[in-house]
A and B are shown apart, each in its own frame.
Chain A
Amino acid sequence: MFVEGRIIQMLLMILTIVAIYFYTDAVKKGREVTIRPIPALDAIEEAVGRASETGRPVHFTPGYTLGGLYNPTMGPGVMAGITILSKVAEVTARLGTGIIVSLAQAEAVPLVEETLKVAYRAQNLEVPANAVRFISTEQYAYAAGILSILLEERPGANILMGYFWSESLQFAEGGSYVGAMQIGGTCSPSQIPFFVASCDYCLIGEELFAAKGYIDRDPASLGSLLASDILRSILIGIVIVSFLAFNLNIGLIIDLLRM
């Protein structure tokens, strides 16, 4: 009945679900969680402030995914980017700065519109006209569209948070060309070096998913961060045990890990 080779994975998944549930509950009941400082998230206020001072808009994009938001590995990265957009929109609404959100996923348009609406309504404002722009689901049409926005609108801040492919460097260089302060962040391993090279601040990997907990102190995000730490420790343990078991040829452990 159980699929062979996936039993250990299943146990780890169940453990993670229980841990997230348990820690979310603990945070709600007042457990203190300390997160190390993440400069890229602290810099959002500064970037939007700078754009506001120069009278230029803020540009935000959550990146490109193959097959839209449904892609199991890339979709969550884009969704995590949209959670950061809520913070960006809150600051732009407060400072009266223009905002442009460019998208490559048609299905993300209503989510982003709703996110902006909530942030602007909190300041009794309407979302600026033409703030949300769906460009294209084609990678380079999307890239060309954003480059055109960067050159025409000349944003004061260029915030790139989500999942990116090779277009990442084009956006970051385009932003640098128009003199925008840039904050990048992605969970795509191949694009991290490009953001580190081109942006003023950079979120790396899991920091993107930790952002919501860091910004809002949201109990669910903080709880899942604590659970992720446990899962990470277990995985490090499994890597060490597997290394020893395979090199010392300990059959029992090898069979157990292959379950």
Chain B
Amino acid sequence: MSNILKREVPLGLATVIIALLFFDYYVFTDITRNIALSIADWAIIITATAAGVGVLNMIIRTYQNISKRAEYWYLDIYMLVVMVVMAGTGLIGAYGTHPVFEWIMMNAYLPIDASIYAMVFFDIVSSYYRTFRVRSRDSAILFICAFIIMLKNAPLTGGMLPSFIPIGDWMLNIPSTAGSRAFIIVASIGVVAFTIRTMLQTERTTVGVVD
């Protein structure tokens, strides 16, 4: 029984819902449109409920960690306080307008987020340093292309060597765009095939089944 509830029912529901949404995308009828909209509403309701359950679960586990004095238990207290303050101030008035909420967002959340994003650029430099070793014909082509694009984009060289700008533009607009479009089409075919396999119930990983 539990297997039927855990696996077969979700797979059956997935089949019906995917088929309905496919149908609604290609064929317009009032009935399917209303059902598709209801399904979208249900998805939002289920997600919100799951988030609520997740928060409750997290509070219980955090409380257990604190009471057992588990490793880094003091960080759990910090997390609980931040969560309560953010949720409390976020719920007062229109979302995100409370001054405390705004202050935390502007002075803590966004700067931390931006700092981590900024770290990407250091990683890019380190990664490029390791990558650009000309060991084969392919890596030589990659190196030359990257060097031209770098000359085009860097303010100093872009200004001093303007002839690289049209070459760089051409490389980005023609071969690079063609390559990325081919890549997107092929990856999308994979996504379509995966969705169809789920609809046909032959892709069972979606319910945690590894055949």
Contacts and interface: CB of A to CB of B under 8 A. Distances in A.
Question: Do A and B form a real pair?
Answer: yes
Interface of A: 1-3, 6-7, 9-10, 13, 16-17, 20-21, 24, 68, 70, 72-73, 76-77, 79-80, 82-83, 86, 106-107, 110-111, 113-115, 118-119, 138, 140, 143-144, 166-167, 169-170, 172-173, 176, 187, 189, 192, 194, 196-198, 204-206, 208-210, 212, 216, 218-221, 223-225, 227-228, 231-232, 235
B200 A20 contact: yes
Interface of B: 22, 25-29, 43, 47, 50-51, 54, 112-113, 116-117, 119-120, 123-124, 126-128, 130-131, 180, 183-197, 199-200, 202-203, 205-211
Contacts of B112: 140
Contacts of B187: 187, 189, 205-206
Given A220-B203, A235-B185, A80 B190 contact: yes
Contacts of B180: 189
B184 A189 contact: yes
Contacts of B192: 13, 16, 231
Given A114-B208, A115-B208, A205-B190, A170 B123 contact: yes
Contacts, number: 158
Q: Which of B26, B185, B200 has the most CB of A within 10 A?
A: B26
Given A1-B28, A20-B200, A80-B194, 10 more contacts: A70-B43, A79-B194, A79-B203, A118-B208, A140-B113, A189-B180, A197-B128, A208-B190, A218-B211, A225-B193
Q: In terms of DSSP, what is the predominant structure of the interface of chain B?
A: helix
A150 B47 CA distance: 30
A3 B26 contact: yes
A-B complex: 9 closest residue pairs judged by Cβ atoms:
A114-B208, A220-B202, A209-B190, A140-B116, A197-B131, A173-B123, A10-B26, A187-B187, A224-B193
